[in-house]
Amino acid sequence: MNAPERLDPLTTAEAWKNAGREVALATVVETWGSAPRQAGSHLVIDGDGNFEGSVSGGCVEGAVITEAMDVIASGKAKMLEFGVADETAWRVGLSCGGRIKVFVERLG
């Protein structure tokens, strides 16, 4: 049996919006050093906390999903940064020396 095919997060975002869901899109806009995902990677999140795609992995994605829920509620976009210079680096899973910047916006 083959593994299920992963959908493009942008396709998922469009489908969720068309179904009437509230949706936020997180996009990796910059990376430095060792980062698990490249710039342009997407994570789509709906108002119920469902998600598709990836912007990093581990605890970073949990933090991005939490922030996306706030963005959906407020309508105000956020720029998030995660990296080893942060005292939270070990908790969010970027102990490998990388940093990432993620833009989170609600889709209208």
CA distance 15 to 28: 21
| Per-residue pLDDT at 63 exceeds 90 | yes
pLDDT in tens, 4-40: 456 799 999 999 999 999 999 999 999 987 778 899 9
Residue-level pLDDT at 74 = 97
The answer to whether the beta carbons of residues 67 and 47 sit under 8 Å apart is no
Residue-level pLDDT at 4 = 47
Quick one: which of 21, 56, 60, 58 has its CA closest to 41? 56
Q: Does the model's pTM come out above 0.75?
A: yes
| Per-residue pLDDT at 61 exceeds 80 | yes
CA distance 23 to 28: 17
Sorted by where each begins, the domain ranges of the chain are: 9-107
CA 51 to chain CA mean position, Å: 9
pLDDT in tens, 42-58: 999 999 999 999 998 77
pLDDT in tens, 64-105: 999 999 999 999 999 999 876 545 545 555 555 678 999 999
Residue-level pLDDT at 91 = 53
Three-state DSSP string of 31-66:
EECCCCCCCCCEEEEECCCCEEECCCCHHHHHHHHH
